[in-house]
Amino acid sequence: MKLRFPKPEAALCPLAFTTRAGLTLIEIMVAVTLLAVIMTGLFAAFITAQRALHSASSQTDVLEGGRSTASLIIRELQELAASQQEGTVNAWSDTPQGGITMPRADGTWQTNVLQDLYFLTRKNDLWTGVGYFIHFRTAGVGSQSEGMGSLYRYTSKNLSVGNFYTNFLADADPANTTNCGHVADGIVHLAVRAYNQRGEPFLPGDSTNNLTIWPGGYAFTNQMLPAYVDLELGMVDPKIYRQFVSMAAPTARRDFLANQVGKVYLFRQRVPILNHHEP
């Protein structure tokens, strides 16, 4: 009787001759589709995060620029000084440039103005006439303005107040004098309102020999100065300003700006006048 032993290959690899099925075409297509959906979601999230980062960076730039511009004007307004000379203008503001009205989402309206501002300061015996005004790099002046321009600062120094005020009115144009320096672009609102020592706004009926008030402006002369002024400054996002100046037609620029209320950043602060005097 012979003993039979299994072959070594069969004993060691009992499944050596079995077959295993691979992935079907449908399974591959489902896997590729799921991968595409996941990649699309990740890409969309990346784009959203990138836009949010750019928006936050742009907003930070505007806020920093607006705060620094407002701080510059505020520091000088606090040093307002009275000339003590009859008929000499100590502080003056007017609204020669047409502003623009922007509709808000809640149905209300935001009305912007563009004032010119002039005032005197004094350090020891040196008088300085300081002025801020809006200059339009694009076509359009006065009632034809498109509602946005660049802020410039004017200065004139002397041992006497001289003709600072009249010189400012004549030279408030960077093309006419070297006394003007560029401060900021994209200004849509600049207003300075004067208040008495009780915190009440000066009104046209309050006009005296040393004070003239009119709708949209005022002039303090001789020894008179307000107790407080409210500074309001409005700026747009730099991207909006670049789009604005790239447009050829004044009407197109104005219509475009009128719909950008969400891109306007407003700064406001009440400034105490250290040397105020009300007779």
Write a three-state SS string for 14-40. CCCCCCCCCCCHHHHHHHHHHHHHHHH
Domain assignment present for residue 35? The answer is: no
Residue 5 carries which DSSP code? -
pLDDT over 90 percentage in the chain: 30
Determine the structural domain holding residue 131 and report its residue range: 47-272
Q: Which of 7-16, 52-61, 250-259 has the lowest mean pLDDT?
A: 7-16
* Phi, then psi, of 101 in degrees rounded to 5: -105, 130
Residue 7: helix, strand or coil by DSSP? coil
Which residues are 120's β-sheet partners? 129
Q: What is the pLDDT of residues 179-202, one digit of tens each?
A: 888 899 999 999 999 999 999 999
CA distance 175 to 161: 24
Check whether 234 has a pLDDT greater than 90. yes
**Structural contact between residues 180 and 174, judged by C-beta atoms closer than 8 angstroms:** yes
Q: Which residue has the higher pLDDT, 109 or 25?
A: 109
As a residue count, the chain comes to 279
- Name the pairing type of β-strands 89-97 and 114-123: antiparallel
DSSP 205: G
Q: Please give the pLDDT value at position 254.
A: 86
Mean pLDDT of the residues in the chain: 83
| 3-class SS of residue 83 | coil
Report if residue 141 sits inside a domain: yes
CB 130 within 8 A of CB 155: yes
Task: Give the total number of structural domains in the chain.
Answer: 1
Q: Is residue 26 part of a domain?
A: no
Q: Report pLDDT for 137.
A: 57
What amino acid occupies position 65? Answer: G
Query: Which residue stretches of the chain are H helix?
Result: 8-12, 25-77, 164-171, 238-246, 250-258
- Taking residues 140-153, report their average pLDDT: 69
Lowest mean pLDDT among 16-30, 83-97, 100-114, 122-136: 16-30
Q: What is the mean pLDDT of residues 149-169?
A: 86
Whether residue 27 lies inside any domain: the answer is no
Q: How far apart are alpha carbons 10 and 3 in whole angstroms?
A: 17
| Domain annotation covers residue 19 | no
Tokens of 227: 């107790």
Q: How many helices (H) and strands (E) does the chain have?
A: 5, 11
pTM of the model: 0.76
Band the pLDDT of 89: cuts 50, 70, 90.
very high
What distance lies between CA 46 and its chain's CA centroid? Answer: 28
Residue 131 has pLDDT above 60, yes or no: yes
Is the pLDDT at 14 greater than 50, yes or no?
A: yes
pLDDT tens, position by position, 53-80: 666 666 677 788 888 999 999 999 999 9
| Per-residue tokens: 47 | 């784009």
Has residue 86 been placed in a domain?
yes
- What does the alpha-carbon distance between residue 244 and residue 249 come to, in Å, rounded to a whole number? 10
Residue 144: predicted pLDDT: 45
What was the pLDDT predicted at 140? 42
Of 215 and 230, which is predicted with more confidence?
230
Q: Is residue 137 situated within a structural domain?
A: yes
In a domain, 111, yes or no: yes
For the record, the structure tokens of 108 come out as 């209300």
